[in-house]
Amino acid sequence: MAAADRARLGVGMVGYSFMGAAHSQAWRTAPRFFDLPLAVDMRVVAGRSADGVAAAADRLGWQESTTDWRTLLTRDDVDVIDVCTPGNTHAEIAVAALDAGKHVLCEKPLANSVAEAEQMVAAADRAAARGVRAMVGFTYRRVPAIQLARQLVADGRIGQVRHVRAQYLQDWLSDPSTPLNWRLDKDKAGSGALGDIGAHVVDLTQFITGERLTGVSGMLETFVRERPVATEFSGLSGSGGTETGPVSVDDAAVFFGRMSGGALASYEATRYAQGRKNAIRIEINGSAGSLAFDFEDMNVLHFFDAAEPAETAGFRRIVVTEPEHRYIEAWWPAGHGLGYEHAFTHQVVDLVGALAAGDQPTPSFADGLAVQRVLDAVERSASDKHRWIDLT
């Protein structure tokens, strides 16, 4: 489609830290590789520090900046609001935006509590009635290998799902001298490893299988309960000063559950797995085959097809970089792998496509709420002797 023929899509973003940088790269890059039906217009970024947000606008490619995110609600040139702030602000911003008639892309986890998430779903429902759309940013769904996994399950290639096995392993808190940051503060982050990374594997397994968890038992642990307070000059990995403060979230979560189709599911999320940097591991065993994925090798999906004769059956290492694979044709030749941030670009592509078509983008806020309910159930189980919590 020629540029001149395309309607414009004005975008405003709230927050400009790690997720803001990733989302900005996606908004900038999507139109360069994909034929988007709308012309992306990176209007404005909002943040609390005037200097900080102005510098971010310059660095990240936004035309304007503001310290008041509420001004985005009334701007005619802003069609979609992209929420990249910590979880405790998601509900307020997203609900206000939707009620103001703005489409919303909200980072995960949808909210810090089920109650907030329910309010957001209600707002999304109200908005949908007016053609206004809401989507939650479970970005890893848009890694091409994950898309292929979903498709193989949907095509019946692994049969009935019997086992789901998912881990999200990081190690950046292994060192007790790593200082506090907002992700370790329950008021801002809602939970720790459970909501930050566990949420991803809950969503991914529900997405790939097309099923929902119907109940869980879980346990949580905080290994290091006091950490140095970060000083002005310390970064994520910087050394803190002598002052310490409490860690108010979980460091790690282990839980099992039952999928709606009857499969046994086991999960683990931790920031204490020494040597595992961002290992999102998912294995699914079905009656007719199996799938395995590890984000440390993100361009690859392993697929076992039990229909093969035993003599030549084996897990296939599919390098998911062929033009036949979703999103790939827009990028590079086979074998020229994608990286972490490409999934954000795909998220923009899918969102813009849905908005132009008037479709509900996925994952919806309801999908986000479903994840939130799982996280909540794990927390309740963990705090009550690991008892089983039904989700139905």
Within 139-158, the residues that bind a second copy by CB under 8 A are 148, 152, 157-158
Which H helix or E strand runs over 379?
Answer: helix 365-383
Single out the residue of 256, 293, 327, 365 in contact with a second copy (rule: CB under 8 A): 256
Cα(355)–Cα(373) distance, rounded to whole angstroms?
27
**209 touches a second copy (CB under 8 A):** no
Nearer to a second copy, 76 or 392 (CB): 392
Within 7-26, the residues that bind a second copy by CB under 8 A are 18, 21-22, 24-25
Within 99-138, the residues that bind a second copy by CB under 8 A are none
Within 329-368, the residues that bind a second copy by CB under 8 A are 332-342
Which H helix or E strand runs over 346?
Answer: helix 342-357
**84 touches a second copy (CB under 8 A):** no
Single out the residue of 243, 287, 359, 383 in contact with a second copy (rule: CB under 8 A): 287
**273 touches a second copy (CB under 8 A):** yes
**182 touches a second copy (CB under 8 A):** no
Nearer to a second copy, 256 or 365 (CB): 256
Nearer to a second copy, 22 or 46 (CB): 22
Within 232-251, the residues that bind a second copy by CB under 8 A are 236-237
**41 touches a second copy (CB under 8 A):** no
**379 touches a second copy (CB under 8 A):** no
**193 touches a second copy (CB under 8 A):** no
Single out the residue of 141, 258, 346, 373 in contact with a second copy (rule: CB under 8 A): 258
Instruction: Centre a 10 Å sphere on the Cβ of residue 371 and count the other Cβ atoms it contains.
Output: 28
Which DSSP string do the residues of 36-55 spell out, in sequence order? -SEEEEEEEEE-S-HHHHHH
Nearer to a second copy, 119 or 285 (CB): 285
Cα(9)–Cα(3) distance, rounded to whole angstroms?
12
Cα(219)–Cα(377) distance, rounded to whole angstroms?
11
DSSP helix/strand/coil, 10 = strand
**51 touches a second copy (CB under 8 A):** no
User: What does the buried/exposed string (b/e) look like for 170-191 if buried means 16 or more CB atoms within 10 Å of the residue's CB?
Assistant: bbebbeeebbbeebbbbebbbb
DSSP classification of residue 76: T
Q: How many residues bind a second copy (CB under 8 A)?
A: 102
Pairing of strands 389-390, 213-221: antiparallel
Its sign, for the CA torsion 60, 15, 228, 221, is negative
Cα(14)–Cα(355) distance, rounded to whole angstroms?
20
DSSP helix/strand/coil, 174 = coil
Single out the residue of 7, 48, 51, 59 in contact with a second copy (rule: CB under 8 A): 59
